[in-house]
Amino acid sequence: MNQVLRKRLARDLKSNFGRYLALTMLIALGIYMIVGIVGMSEVVLQGTENQKSVTFVEDGQFSVFLPLSEKEIAELSENNTVIESMFYTDLQAADGSKLRMMKNRKQIDLIQLDEGRLAETNGECVLEKRYAAVHALHCGDTVTAAGTEFTITGIGSTPDYDQPIAAFSDVAVESSHFGLIFVTESQYQQIRDTTSQKAEEYVYAYRLGDGMTSDKLKQKIKDFDFDYTKVNDKYFRQTIDEILDKKKEMQDGIRDLYSGSQELSDGLAELENYGTDLKDAADQLFDAYLKQAESTLAALGKDITLTKENYAQELDKAVEELDYRSLRELKEALDGVKAFADGIGEYKDGVGEAYSGSQELSDGVGELKKETNKLLDEIFEIDIDNLISFITAEDNIRIAAAAGDVIMNKNVGLIAGLVVLVLFTYVISVFVIHQIEKEAPVIGALYSLGVKKKDLLLHYITLPVVIAFAGGLIGMIIGFSPAGIDTLASSTYDYYSVPHFAMVYPAYLFIYSLILPPVISGIVNTIVINKKLSQTALSLIKNEQKASSYRQVNLKSKNFIRVFQIRQMLREYRSAAAVIAGMMVCMLLSDISLDCAVMCQAVKTDNLADTHYEYMYLYKYPEDTAPRNAETAYLETLSIPCFDYTLDVSVMGLNPNSRYFEARPAKSKNKVVINNSLHERFKLNPGDTFTLNDATGDMNYTFTVDAIAQYSVGFAVFMDIDSMRELFGQEEDYFNAAYSDTALDIDEGRLYAVTTKADIEKSAGVFVDMMLPMVITLLSISLLIFCVVMYLMMGVMIDRSASGISLMKIFGYRPNEIRKLYLNGNTLIIALGALICIPVSKMIMDALYPSFIANVACGMNIRFPWYLYLGIYGVVMIGYFVINFLLIGKINKITPAEVLKNRE
Amino acid sequence: MFLEVNNIKKSYGSDASYIQVLKGVTTSVRQGQMCVIQGTSGSGKSTLLNCIGGLDTMDSGSVKIDGKEIFGLSPAALSDYRRDYLGFIFQFYNLVPNLTVRENIQVCQYLTGNPLDLEDLLETLGLTEHQNKFPAQLSGGQQQRCAIARALIKNPRLLLCDEPTGALDSKTSRDILILLEKVNQTYGTTMLIVTHNNSIKNMVHKVIIIKDGLIKQDYENSALIPAAELEDL
Ligand SMILES: Nc1ncnc2c1ncn2[C@@H]1O[C@H](COP(=O)(O)OP(=O)(O)OP(=O)(O)O)[C@@H](O)[C@H]1O
Ligand SMILES: [Mg+2]
Q: What is the mean pLDDT of residues A531-559?
A: 64
Boundary of a domain, candidates A342, A360, A379: A379
Give the chain B residue whose CA is nearest to the CA of A545: B136
Does the structure show a pLDDT above 60 at B112? yes
A848 HSE (CA, 13 A, CB side):
18
Q: What is the mean pLDDT of residues A578-584?
A: 88
Position A343 scores a pLDDT of 79
Q: What is the mean pLDDT of residues B141-158?
A: 89
Question: Is residue A404 a part of any domain in this protein?
Answer: no
Q: Count structural domains, chain A.
A: 4
Alpha carbons A76 and A670: distance in angstroms, whole number: 42
Whether residue A884 sits in one domain with residue A776: yes
Q: What is the pLDDT of residues A323-351, one digit of tens each?
A: 666 777 777 777 877 787 787 778 778 77
Whether residue A782 sits in one domain with residue A724: no
Whether residue B13 has its Cβ less than 6 Å from ligand 1: yes
Position A379 scores a pLDDT of 59
A881 HSE (CA, 13 A, CB side):
6
Position A208 scores a pLDDT of 93
Q: Which residue has the higher pLDDT, A516 or A355?
A: A516
Give residues with Cβ within 8 angstroms of A189, minimum separation 6: none
Instruction: Using CB atoms, pick whichever of B79, B92, B134 lies closest to residue A903.
Output: B92
Q: Which residue has the higher pLDDT, A660 or A279?
A: A660
Position A651 scores a pLDDT of 93
Whether residue A224 sits in one domain with residue A75: yes
Q: A739 with A631: CB under 8 angstroms?
A: yes
Q: What is the mean pLDDT of residues A541-561?
A: 63
Q: What percent of chain B has pLDDT over 90?
A: 34
Q: What is the mean pLDDT of residues A418-447?
A: 79
Question: Is residue A389 a part of any domain in this protein?
Answer: no
Give the chain A residue whose CA is nearest to the CA of B82: A812
Whether the pTM exceeds 0.80: the reply is no
Question: Is residue A510 a part of any domain in this protein?
Answer: no
Q: What is the mean pLDDT of residues B95-109?
A: 90
Position A547 scores a pLDDT of 45
Does the structure show a pLDDT above 70 at B2? yes
Beta bridge partner(s), residue A703: A690
Whether residue A289 sits in one domain with residue A188: no
- HEC profile of A282-329: HHHHHHHHHHHHHHHHHHCCCCCCCCCCCHHHHHHHHHHHHCCHHHHH
Q: What is the mean pLDDT of residues A649-654?
A: 92
Looking at CATH, the fold of the domain delimited by B3-92+156-229 is given as: Rossmann fold (3.40.50)
Whether residue A654 sits in one domain with residue A740: yes
Position A43 scores a pLDDT of 93
- Per DSSP, the residues of B148-192 read HHHHHTT--SEEEEESTTTTS-HHHHHHHHHHHHHHHHHH--EEE
- Per DSSP, the residues of A681-718 read HH---TT-EEEEE-TTS--EEEEEEEEEE---SS-EEE
Q: A63 with A203: CB under 8 angstroms?
A: yes
Whether residue A171 sits in one domain with residue A96: yes
- Among residues A791, A787, A763, A812, which one has the least CA distance to residue A875? A787
- Among residues A446, A512, A447, A525, which one has the least CA distance to residue A479? A512
Whether residue B12 has its Cβ less than 6 Å from ligand 1: yes
- Per-residue pLDDT band for A197 (boundaries 50, 70, 90) equals confident
Alpha carbons B40 and A487: distance in angstroms, whole number: 69
Whether residue A707 sits in one domain with residue A564: no
In terms of C-beta density within 10 A (0-12 exposed, 13-18 middle, 19 or more buried), how is residue B117 classed?
Answer: exposed
Alpha carbons A890 and A894: distance in angstroms, whole number: 7
**Interface test mutation site (partner A, options B73, B90, B96, max chain A beta carbons within 10 A):** B96
Position A801 scores a pLDDT of 86
Q: A164 with A131: CB under 8 angstroms?
A: yes
Q: What is the mean pLDDT of residues A424-453?
A: 79
Alpha carbons A6 and A13: distance in angstroms, whole number: 11
Q: Tell which atom from ligand 1 comes closest to the C-alpha of B213.
A: 14
Position A708 scores a pLDDT of 94
Whether residue B197 has its Cβ less than 6 Å from ligand 1: no
- Per DSSP, the residues of A156-208 read EE-GGGSS--SSTT-SS--TTTEEEEEE-HHHHHHHHHHS--PPPBEEEEEE-
Q: What is the pLDDT of residues A465-487, one digit of tens each?
A: 888 899 999 999 999 988 888 88
Does the structure show a pLDDT above 50 at B223? yes
Q: Do B55 and A896 touch (CB under 8 A)?
A: yes
Q: What is the mean pLDDT of residues B22-48?
A: 91
Tell me A93's DSSP state. B
Position A698 scores a pLDDT of 67
Instruction: Using CB atoms, pick whichever of B96, B107, B137 lies closest to residue A547.
Output: B137
Boundary of a domain, candidates A745, A773, A806: A745
CA distances from A625 to A11, A628, A636, A746 (A): 89, 9, 19, 12
Q: A126 with A181: CB under 8 angstroms?
A: yes
Q: Do A563 and B98 touch (CB under 8 A)?
A: no
Question: Is residue A714 a part of any domain in this protein?
Answer: yes
Q: Phi/psi at A392 (nearest 5 deg)?
A: -80, 160
Alpha carbons A818 and A808: distance in angstroms, whole number: 7
Q: Which residue has the higher pLDDT, A73 or A260?
A: A73
Whether residue A581 sits in one domain with residue A667: no
Residue nearest to ligand 1 atom 27, measured at CA: B41
Among A16-20, A21-25, A322-326, A443-447, top mean pLDDT goes to A21-25
- Among residues A647, A48, A648, A159, which one has the least CA distance to residue A399? A159
Q: What is the mean pLDDT of residues A245-265?
A: 76
Question: Is residue A533 a part of any domain in this protein?
Answer: no
- Among residues A414, A396, A413, A415, which one has the least CA distance to residue A404? A396
Q: Do B107 and A550 touch (CB under 8 A)?
A: no
Neighbours of A879 (CB within 10 A): 20
- Among residues A258, A57, A45, which one has the least CA distance to residue A161? A57
Does the structure show a pLDDT above 90 at A154? yes
- Among residues A106, A128, A380, A348, which one has the least CA distance to residue A242? A380
ipTM comes to 0.93
Q: Tell which atom from ligand 1 comes closest to the C-alpha of B50.
A: 18
- Per-residue pLDDT band for A552 (boundaries 50, 70, 90) equals low
Whether residue A264 sits in one domain with residue A208: no
Q: Which residue has the higher pLDDT, A650 or A643?
A: A650
Q: A854 with A642: CB under 8 angstroms?
A: yes
Alpha carbon dihedral A881, A884, A888, A891, in 10-degree steps, equals: -160
Position A838 scores a pLDDT of 93
The domains of chain B are located at 3-92+156-229
Q: What is the pLDDT of residues A681-723, one digit of tens each?
A: 898 999 999 999 886 656 889 999 999 999 988 899 999 999 9
- Among residues B79, B47, B84, B89, which one has the least CA distance to residue B65? B84
Alpha carbon dihedral B216, B220, B225, B226, in 10-degree steps, equals: 100
Distance from CA of A571 to the nearest CA of B (A): 7
Whether residue A177 sits in one domain with residue A106: yes
Angle between the A757-800 and A573-610 helix axes, to the nearest 10 degrees?
A: 170
Q: B131 with B104: CB under 8 angstroms?
A: no
Q: A474 with A24: CB under 8 angstroms?
A: yes
C-alpha B47 – ligand 1 centre gap (Å) = 6
Boundary of a domain, candidates A183, A200, A230: A230
Q: H/E element holding A499? A: none
Whether residue A890 sits in one domain with residue A770: yes
Mean pLDDT, chain A, whole residue set? 84
Whether residue B42 has its Cβ less than 6 Å from ligand 1: yes
Instruction: Using CB atoms, pick whichever of A551, A561, A810 lies closest to residue B134.
Output: A551
C-alpha B62 – ligand 2 centre gap (Å) = 21
- Per-residue pLDDT band for A137 (boundaries 50, 70, 90) equals very high
Alpha carbons A561 and A556: distance in angstroms, whole number: 13
Beta bridge partner(s), residue A156: A113, A128
Q: What is the pLDDT of residues B183-212, one digit of tens each?
A: 898 888 999 999 888 888 889 999 999 998
Question: Is residue A499 a part of any domain in this protein?
Answer: no
- Amino acid (one-letter) located at A66: L
Position A745 scores a pLDDT of 85
Q: What percent of chain A has pLDDT over 70?
A: 95
Q: What is the pLDDT of residues A61-106, one digit of tens each?
A: 998 888 899 999 999 998 899 999 999 999 988 888 899 999 999 9
In terms of C-beta density within 10 A (0-12 exposed, 13-18 middle, 19 or more buried), how is residue A462 classed?
Answer: middle
Whether residue A707 sits in one domain with residue A815: no
Instruction: Using CB atoms, pick whichever of B46, B97, B111 lies closest to residue A811.
Output: B111
Q: Which domain holds residue A629?
A: 624-745
Angle between the A560-571 and A815-822 helix axes, to the nearest 10 degrees?
A: 50
